Amino acid sequence: KSYVVFGKTNESAVNLSVIAAGTGGFVINGENANDFSGYSVSSAGDVNGDGLDDLIVGAYHADPSSGNNAGKSYVVFGKINESAVNLSVIASGTGGFVINGENVDDWSGISVSSAGDVNGDGLDDLIVGAYFADPDNKDKAGKSYVVFGKKDKTAVNLSAIAASSGMGGFVINGENIDDRSGVSVSSAGDVNGDGLDDLIVGAYLADPSGTNNAGKSYVVFGKKDKATVDLSVIASGTGGFVINGENAGDFSGVSVSSAGDVNGDGLDDLIIGAHQADPDNKSKAGKSYVVFGKTDTKAVDLADISAGNGVVAHTIDFQGNDDDNTLTGTSVDELFVAGLGNDVLTGNGGADVFNAGKGDDIIIINADNLAKLSSKVLSSDLLARVDGGGNTDTLKLAGADLNLDLTQIDNGRIQDIEIIDLTGSGNNTH
């Protein structure tokens, strides 16, 4: 069983027996004996575009027509009532849809997650791990499947996703025998700043540089096509980057997730679990690593993260406080973090990141700032961001003959702006 508990404003305990009875949420009942539904569950984002967030439930021991233990995952569309959901009904195409595993003993659904909007079509996508799958006859190298969001309720067969032409998504094939890629899968947020959501896939038994079971995690950059992704290509620095575990037996990648923007540089960051690691000689105390977002595809070694050599795009160059601040930058790339007041932030060029915070703020950008915001080249230019924060915020153009074309600026690079001031020194357009 899986239980959806509705948000609430009080601190009273929740009893799942009450949820199952239809008060304060609803229960999702598994389809068949020994399916193990609910082993992995996640928000799915808004898969069908109806304005309600959806859910995904993995049942890795389920037996679709493709074979025993091929696994199933169920997408349950959002709803406002508290009636129980039976996954047998979802599988029939009512209230959601089923995702059927590809081959016998793949264990698809061992890990499930929203993938964000990987292909940029406005619908949230899904990622399903199958860590016992055998891509290209590589025993238990593992596979992960990206299923694009859709509005209908027809079943999805992962065999169709894995087909060379792709149908409704694409497959991510593990790198080496017994890597178990797909043990953990997640949206990574927008790690490289190109406007598409990225993915992260854990392979906890991988052996980076021969270090047995140190584990690897792979960041796969978002893309609009359905071509197969091979993690060996990602590891070579094409289409993403690899994150190599620190020590033998650490099992890094057993759990992976987006971390949001931890360091405030405008790029989403990552967190990777290594539950068998031995920090300070404390056997199996475990470690977790935060890896900062970045615009290049160089490999990341968790040993460097442990040593304090994380990938940092920016330090905070201008930081405000609770007063009304005036923060004025130079022509280089800079990070502005304002406070609670009504602030004025002036960029003066570069791939600047503006986090204006609360207050009625004014953010002033010039032609070079605008060019960086419009850049689509995989470089540090992708760091450029404008976030007005709370209240009523104004984006103001400084200069003449500037054209603010929002269709040429990727989603997420300008947000929480209520007013656009084109005045400048004349002839600016929007």
pLDDT digits (tens, 9 = 90+) for 78-91: 999 999 999 999 99
pLDDT (0 to 100) of residue 86: 98
d(CA 140, CA 132): 4
Lowest mean pLDDT among 130-144, 195-209, 286-300, 374-388: 374-388
| DSSP string for residues in 119-141 | SSSSS-EEEEEETT--GGG-TT-
pLDDT (0 to 100) of residue 263: 81
d(CA 124, CA 77): 12
pLDDT (0 to 100) of residue 318: 87
pLDDT (0 to 100) of residue 408: 86
List the alpha helices (DSSP H) in 37-105: 87-91
Summarised one tens digit per residue, pLDDT across range 345-402 is: 999 999 998 999 899 999 999 999 999 998 877 666 777 889 998 899 999 999 999 9
Which one, of 319, 322, 318, 312, lies nearest residue 334 by Cα?
318
| Sheet-wide strand order for 353-355 | 318-319, 335-337, 353-355, 385-387, 414-415
For residues 328-332, give the mean pLDDT. 94
d(CA 267, CA 409): 15
d(CA 27, CA 20): 5
Q: Could you tell me the residue ranges of all domains in the chain? A: 30-306, 318-421
Mean pLDDT of the chain: 93
For tokens 């598409």, name the residue.
196
pTM listed for this prediction: 0.82
Written out in words, the top-level CATH class of the domain with range 30-306 is mainly beta
pLDDT (0 to 100) of residue 313: 47
Residue 319 has pLDDT above 60, yes or no: yes
